[in-house]
Each structure stands twice: as C-alpha cells, then as structure tokens.
Amino acid sequence: MRELVGRPYHELRARLGKDLSVRELVEAYLDAIEAFDGQVRAYLTVTADQAREQARALDDRLARKEPLPPLAGMPVAVKDNLCTRGVRTTCGSRILESFVPPYDATAVERLREAGAVVLGKTNLDEFAMGSSTENSGFFPTRNPWRLDHVPGGSSGGSAAAVAAGEALAALGSDTGGSIRQPACLCGVVGLKPTYGRVSRYGLVAFASSLDQIGPLALDVRDCALVLQAISGRDPRDSTSVEVPVPNFAASLEAGVRGLRVGVPTEFFGEGLQPEVRHAVLDAVRVLEGLGAVVEEVTLPTLEYALPTYYLIACAEASSNLARYDGVAYGYRSPRARDLYTLYARTRAEGFGPEVKRRIMLGTFALSAGYYEGFYKKAQQVRTLVRRDFDRCFEKVDVLATPTSPVAGFRLGERTTDPLQMYLADVYTIPVNLAGLPGISVPCGFVDGLPVGLQVVGRPFDEVTVLRVAYAYEQATDWHRHRCPLFRG
C-alpha cells in the first residue's frame, strides 16, 4: 500500500470502490505515521480507531453503490487549535493539555460531511504564536526534508505531516503566515483564504481580526477541493461573509494569458536570501512565458507591516487569552492559596515564554497612556497597508512575491532572537493585515530545502489566486519532488 502515499487525492478518487478501498487508503497513511512520526513528530494525537471507523462506514456506502461525498476517504490532519468533539485540543499548550471539546469546529465538521477521514491533531507553536513550531509546549516538529531544520510555523505539524506522507491534506490556521510559511519550508501547497471566507467557529482564538483557517495539500487541485468543502457562511461566526462559494477547481485550467501579475519591489530588498530571490524571479518569468503580463508595483507601507502586526496581534492575544485562568477549564495550579495566586500561578505555569511575551506586549499596548500611541496608531497604519494593496489591484490581478525570505533554518538557530524569528513572516504578514487571499506553491530549492512562491489576490478572488498557482505548478516539476524521508 506504500505506493498510495504521496499521490494527490484527485488521482486516487476514481479508484475508490474499484481497485482501492477507503480502508486501504487510510491504513497506508496510518502506516506512514507509524513509520515516520517518531522522527518528524508532526502529530500530538493520532485518532487511528476513529479513522478506521470512518473508513469502514465509507466502504459500506461504496458496497451499497451509494453516491460518495466529494472528499470521501481523503486522509487529513487537523491543526490542534481547531476543536474536535471527543478528541483533546491542546493548542500546543500545557494549559490546555487535557481539554476535550464537546463539539467540532465548523471547518472540521464540514470536512467530515465531505467524507474526509481525520487521522489526528497536529503540533503547532503554542496558541499559534511562532514561526518554527519550536514554541510548542510539548516538543518541536522537524522538517521532513532535513530533520535538523524547522518546518516553519505555526502550522508546522500540518505542513510536515503532508510533506512526510503522514496525511494527504491538512487544515491549518494563518494569523500572520502560519499556513503559507510552513507550506513553503516543507515544499507543499498552503492557502490562506480571504478573511471571512471560512468560518472561524471552533478555532481557538489568537488574534481574532487576523486568524483564518485554510488547507495544506500536495498540489493546488487538492488544495482547491479542501477549500471548497470548508468555505461558506456560518451563522455561528459573525465574521464569516455571505458571498457565493464558486467551484474553485473548475477554473484551474483557464491559464494566465493576459492576466496582470504585479511584482512588489519592496518584497525583494534587504534580508531576502539571494538564492530565494533567484528562484522566485525565475517563477515570475515562467508565468510571463505562459502569457501573463508582468509589471513592477510598490507597497510603500511594507516596512511598517511587521511592527503593526505585532502590536495588533499581541493586543488581541492578551484579551483572548485572559480566559485561561484555572477556573472554568484547562490547567489549574495545585499551589494556589487564593484567587489571586490561582490566576497568577496557573498562567505562569501553564503558558510558555513566547505566549507570556506576547501577552505582556499586548497588555502594554492597550494600557492607559499607551493605547493612543501604540494600538490605535497600529490600526491606522493597518488601513494604510490595505489601501496600498487596493492601489496595486487597480493595476494588476495578482501579486507574486517570495513566501519566506529564507529557506528552512536550523532548529534552535533563532530561538534566542525573537526579532529574527518574527522576520520569518515579513512577506506573509501584510496579507493578513489586509485580509487578502494568498497561496504558497513550491518553486525551487536552496541547498536541498524547498522555496515557495506566494501569489496574493483581491478579496474573495481565490479563483484567480488558485488559477495562477495551478498554471505555474503545471508548467514546472517542483510540486512532484518528495523529501528523502517520504521516499524512504
């Protein structure tokens, strides 16, 4: 069954009920988890029994010749900040180590309704705060391409699971690049939808005005299929938007001839690894060769996006994480003497250093005397960032940029330098501030480590973003490369 692993779902779907059962497909991926996850450590929880039960139910439907849902039998992983009924949801934090939700997140619920089989919950930076999955409260995840390197973050477990053949697709969350950056570093496809395209109900909040759920997969078509399943208005999430959900896969083959592709000059300046620059510009030339019209554009506020993001995200985190106090659920310090020490010791013992750092930064930015100078000003700059993107999209249909300024870095290389860690998301953060859709697709290698091309589009224009990514993907072979661990 090993030959099943690493083939996109859209290639396997037609075989279900003929020479392939759902059980065989699911077992192939459970075997891969058994074989490789001791090295990669992508999963925090594996739900093998539940997965087998789902597979049996789908095979019974096949035996009865019943029509199957669109993602029937697709073995998927779910980032562990998405609630799953009856399965613990830790957010990569000791403070929620034993938390078991009584309900599914809407995105998970919709995946199950579409027939996807959930294999388990993947590791992440604690409360999705990080760019390397080294901030997990349990253990770091490793990059399947090179086990002494990071997989990116915060959805590093989801990206590593797909790259290592431990899941056919995965859900992640993206607050400042947490789907696209690990997808880039692990050589898979990762898409952040427009803010409001996918319900956030059941996603444990980090920064509510920035968080968005999206798919990671082996190729663009599978990414489009998963996005189709999870998109749409949800009355349980007031920020989800009532807009039509197009058939994302139907327009993939329309090509890029005549489309206008903008290349923002600010994304190719200081800090960009020369080999990454070369790979991304080569990718732009491929699009040009396919008939796209390429032109330079400018985003003058890019230099302010990083500090703006960290002020807004940390402020929202300080508010959202106030609920973890040891009273209603989650970890409670056994050393509490009174209500004050219950709060203080529970939070001191349950949260990791990066979460504490961001809570303190956010609380400071919201405090009396500093709110006007920090949080309010950051929100004003956020508006300027959005306007810069609006001006660009008056001239072009999509933007093409690097996803990450560097290929994967070594484990431990940046853990003592938070600023260097934060700079890993410098090209993805502006997209979240503006609430736009963005995708990362493999576009080359630097010293054997993957590099990603980021394609950014207008609000709710995922169709064009996917179309450009697919055209590039089909014109190149980068997405067909598999990591050495995977091939083993």
CA distance 407 to 400: 17
Please tell me the predicted confidence (pLDDT) of residue 438: 98
- Is residue 104 included in any domain, yes or no? yes
pLDDT tops 80 at residue 1: no
Residues 69-128: tens digit of each pLDDT = 999 999 999 999 999 999 999 999 999 999 999 999 999 999 999 999 999 999 999 999
- Torsion angle of alpha carbons 331, 333, 339, 344, nearest 10°? -90
Q: What values do phi and psi take at 159, rounded to 5? A: -65, -45
User: Residue range 254-267: average pLDDT?
Assistant: 97
Going by pLDDT thresholds of 50, 70 and 90, the confidence category of residue 42 is: very high
Query: Which tokens in the block code for residue 123?
Result: 């590791």
Determine how many CB atoms are found less than 10 A away from the CB of residue 420: 15
CATH for 250: 3.90.1300.10
- Is residue 310 included in any domain, yes or no? no
Burial bucket for residue 476 (CB in 10 Å: 0-12, 13-18, 19+): middle
Please tell me the predicted confidence (pLDDT) of residue 419: 83
Please tell me the predicted confidence (pLDDT) of residue 408: 92
Secondary structure (3-state) at 329 = coil
Write out the H or E segment, with its range, that includes residue 378. Answer: helix 377-393
pLDDT tops 90 at residue 475: yes
Tell how strand 169-173 and strand 213-217 pair up. antiparallel
Q: Which residue in this structure is represented by tokens 């390397």?
A: 132
CA distance 426 to 184: 14
Residues 6+ apart with CB under 8 A from 197: 212, 231, 240, 241, 243, 437, 460, 462
Going by pLDDT thresholds of 50, 70 and 90, the confidence category of residue 329 is: confident
Instruction: Please report, for the chain, how many H helices and E strands are present, in that order.
Output: 16, 11
Question: What's the DSSP call for residue 333?
Answer: -
- Is residue 312 included in any domain, yes or no? no
CA distance 230 to 346: 35
User: Residue range 406-435: average pLDDT?
Assistant: 94
Residues 351-365: tens digit of each pLDDT = 999 999 999 999 999
* HSE-up of residue 111 (Cα within 13 Å, Cβ side): 31
- Is residue 24 included in any domain, yes or no? yes
Q: Which residue in this structure is represented by tokens 């697919």?
A: 470
- Is residue 374 included in any domain, yes or no? no
CA distance 125 to 391: 34
User: Residue range 482-488: average pLDDT?
Assistant: 73
Tell how strand 260-264 and strand 43-46 pair up. unpaired
Please confirm whether the linkage preceding 154 is cis (ω < 30° from 0).
Answer: yes
CA distance 54 to 200: 24
pLDDT tops 90 at residue 147: yes
User: Residue range 417-433: average pLDDT?
Assistant: 93
CA distance 284 to 290: 10
Residues 6+ apart with CB under 8 A from 314: 207, 358, 359, 361, 362, 365
The catalytic residue positions are 79, 154, 178
CA distance 190 to 400: 15
Please tell me the predicted confidence (pLDDT) of residue 91: 98
Say if residues 128 and 206 touch (Cβ distance below 8 Å). Answer: yes
Burial bucket for residue 40 (CB in 10 Å: 0-12, 13-18, 19+): buried
User: Residue range 439-444: average pLDDT?
Assistant: 98
- Is residue 86 included in any domain, yes or no? yes
CA distance 219 to 474: 10
Q: How far, rounded to the nearest angstrom, does the alpha carbon of residue 84 sit from its chain's CA centroid?
A: 17
Long-range pairs for 55-61: beta carbons < 8 A, 24 or more residues apart: 55/21, 55/22, 55/23, 55/25, 55/26, 55/27, 55/117, 56/23, 58/22, 58/115, 58/117, 59/21, 59/22, 59/23
Secondary structure (3-state) at 3 = helix
pLDDT tops 90 at residue 143: yes
Which residue range forms the structural domain that includes residue 283?
Answer: 2-266+277-297+391-487
Query: Which tokens in the block code for residue 267?
Result: 């994304």
Q: How many domains does the structure of the chain reveal?
A: 1
Going by pLDDT thresholds of 50, 70 and 90, the confidence category of residue 486 is: low
For the chain, the residue count is: 488
Please tell me the predicted confidence (pLDDT) of residue 484: 84
pLDDT tops 80 at residue 488: no
Say if residues 189 and 159 touch (Cβ distance below 8 Å). Answer: no
pLDDT tops 80 at residue 210: yes
User: Residue range 13-20: average pLDDT?
Assistant: 94
Say if residues 193 and 187 touch (Cβ distance below 8 Å). Answer: no
CA distance 318 to 355: 9
